[in-house]
Amino acid sequence: MEVVVRRSARRKKTVQARMVDGVLEVAIPGHMSEAEEEHWVNVMEQRFERQRSTETVDLPGRTKALSKRYDLPMPSSVIWSERQRTLWGSCTPASGRIRIATRVAGYPDWVLDYVLLHELAHLVVPNHSDSFWDLVNRYPKAAQARGYLEAKSDGR
């Protein structure tokens, strides 16, 4: 990804990025060190890569297919969430809302499906009881997906 860094004497604290004609423009305060600049450019590149990944995934379509295949209720909404830093997904059973961490969009499809199925199961069983795991473990790659996610979470 091509990146252009623009330093601003007026900008005091905030870092901002936008995509212009396929080029990532990163605006940073003029006083930032080269190391800070490199850090923020990497952060912004990762954010835009995740955003691009989420645009290629039909999250509602995948959710509907899994709901039908595993005879689980459809959520009232399913969205990507940039704010989920430590969770892969979350569900609010009372409202039927599911949020999936944007970083999951870059994982293999079978892992995304597992995360979606895990959250769909919470619409039926709001805790992690045996009956919840019975629903989740109907997914043939459940154990493999859990292993993948555990490996990804090391160091967090």
Query: Residue 154: its pLDDT value, please?
Result: 61
Query: Residue 106: its pLDDT value, please?
Result: 82
Residue 25 in tokens: 């423009």
User: Rounded to whole angstroms, how far apart are CA atoms 149 and 106?
Assistant: 12
Query: Residue 49: its pLDDT value, please?
Result: 76
Query: Residue 84: its pLDDT value, please?
Result: 81
What is the sign, positive or negative, of the torsion defined by CA atoms of 129, 123, 81, 64?
positive
User: Rounded to whole angstroms, how far apart are CA atoms 122 and 124?
Assistant: 5
User: Which amino acid type is present at position 68?
Assistant: K
User: Which amino acid type is present at position 42?
Assistant: N
Query: Residue 128: its pLDDT value, please?
Result: 97
The predicted model scores a pTM of 0.70
Domains, the chain, ordered by start:
2-55 (no CATH), 59-153 (3.30.2010.10)
Query: Residue 85: its pLDDT value, please?
Result: 80
101, containing H or E segment = strand 97-101
Residue 10 in tokens: 């007026």
pLDDT tens for the chain, residues 1 to 156: 789 999 999 988 899 888 888 788 999 999 999 999 999 999 888 877 766 677 778 999 999 999 999 999 999 999 999 888 889 999 999 999 999 998 898 888 999 999 999 999 999 999 999 999 999 999 999 999 999 999 988 655
CB 65 within 8 A of CB 57: no
DSSP letter at 74?
P
